[in-house]
Amino acid sequence: MRAEPFCVEGVSVQTLSLKEASCRICDDVASGKSFSVFTLNLDHVVKLRANPAFRAVYERAGIVLADGFPIVLAGRLQGRCLSRTTGADLIVPLCEEASRRGLPVFLLGSTSRSLAGAERHLTNLISNLDVAGTYAPDQGFAAHSEQADEAIEAIRKSGARICFIALGAPKQEIFADRCAREIEGVSFLCIGAGLDFLAGHQKRAPKVFQVTGLEWLWRMLLNPGRLARRYAECLAVLPSVLLDSLSRRSAQAGR
């Protein structure tokens, strides 16, 4: 199997492992680049088809990784060798690499309580990690607002080189894209509920659900009223994603 990127819904997805992604992000930000890092899943595919602004920021993303087993399967059907690289899973290895290189990090999103818990967890786990700042936006935070302006200024003044954004899709990706275009020398990684997991304020699925690609089922069982429709929409787009991957593999084989 090959290691180069593959395509899902017009998006180029990298096949980097957690370690490789951490090194790549730190290499790129150390060179002075500003860029966003997204993790593609089926919910994002649904949103890409319905939201032109979301698709536009995905097209400008610096790195896109495979979050969710269906995206991994799409890559494998195209002959790529990869495993899941979720935003939540990337936080600790990226912070470890940032600590080794002396790159300060910033935590944005969720609540002040979760940010404090996540910061405490990370600094206890990783020696010399420099958390340059945190910012918990109000409910209803918008990527283009006065509060977003305030958050961008806080990130800029902190001196952070890596910013973890936990706002949920598509808000976090749209805000990360804006940040990457307005702040120099910072990478912006979208991590969903990652900070709440670290703080212990949300319970992540047991490992067996994660490794078998059934984390979505765990989440839906915990909150069926909110998530049942979302996952029904995800299942509806899955056949077309896999068929497209098979088509791409056949086309590659015929060259």
- Look at residue 118 and tell me if it is in a domain: yes
- Is the pLDDT assigned to residue 217 strictly greater than 80? no
Q: What is the rounded distance in angstroms from the CA atom of residue 1 to the CA atom of residue 109?
A: 38
- Is the pLDDT assigned to residue 255 strictly greater than 70? no
**Exposed (0-12), middle (13-18) or buried (19+): which is 56, by Cβ within 10 Å?**
exposed
232: Cβ contacts below 8 Å, ≥ 6 apart: none
- Is the pLDDT assigned to residue 251 strictly greater than 90? no
- Look at residue 116 and tell me if it is in a domain: yes
Give the pLDDT band of residue 2 (cuts 50, 70, 90).
low
- Look at residue 12 and tell me if it is in a domain: yes
- Looking at residues 237-247, what average pLDDT do you find? 96
- Look at residue 45 and tell me if it is in a domain: yes
- Is the pLDDT assigned to residue 209 strictly greater than 80? no
β-strands 35-40, 63-66 pairing: parallel
- Look at residue 1 and tell me if it is in a domain: no
Both tokens of residue 174? 């749209």
User: What residues form DSSP beta bridges with 120?
Assistant: none
Both tokens of residue 190? 């979208």
- Looking at residues 244-250, what average pLDDT do you find? 91
State what percent of residues in the chain have pLDDT above 90: 81
* Three-state DSSP class for residue 133: strand
- Looking at residues 8-13, what average pLDDT do you find? 97
pLDDT of residue 11: 97
- Look at residue 107 and tell me if it is in a domain: yes
- Look at residue 18 and tell me if it is in a domain: yes
Mean of the per-residue pLDDT values of the chain: 93
Q: What is the rounded distance in angstroms from the CA atom of residue 248 to the CA atom of residue 220?
A: 32
- Is the pLDDT assigned to residue 1 strictly greater than 70? no
pLDDT of residue 205: 72
* Three-state DSSP class for residue 35: strand
Indicate the Cα dihedral angle 117, 64, 100, 133, nearest 10°: -40
Domain ranges, residue 161: 6-253
Number of domains in the chain: 1
Please say whether the beta carbons of 106 and 163 come within 8 A: yes
Q: What is the rounded distance in angstroms from the CA atom of residue 184 to the CA atom of residue 193?
A: 26
The larger pLDDT score, comparing residue 230 to residue 191, is at 191
- Look at residue 113 and tell me if it is in a domain: yes
| Helices 112-125 and 87-101, axial angle in degrees (round to 10) | 50
What is the pTM assigned to this prediction?
0.94
Helix (H) or strand (E) holding 54: helix 52-60
State what percent of residues in the chain have pLDDT above 70: 98
pLDDT tens-digit series, residues 90-147: 999 999 999 999 999 999 999 999 999 999 999 999 989 999 999 999 989 999 999 9
The alpha carbon dihedral of 23, 63, 189, 39 has a sign of negative
- Is the pLDDT assigned to residue 222 strictly greater than 80? no
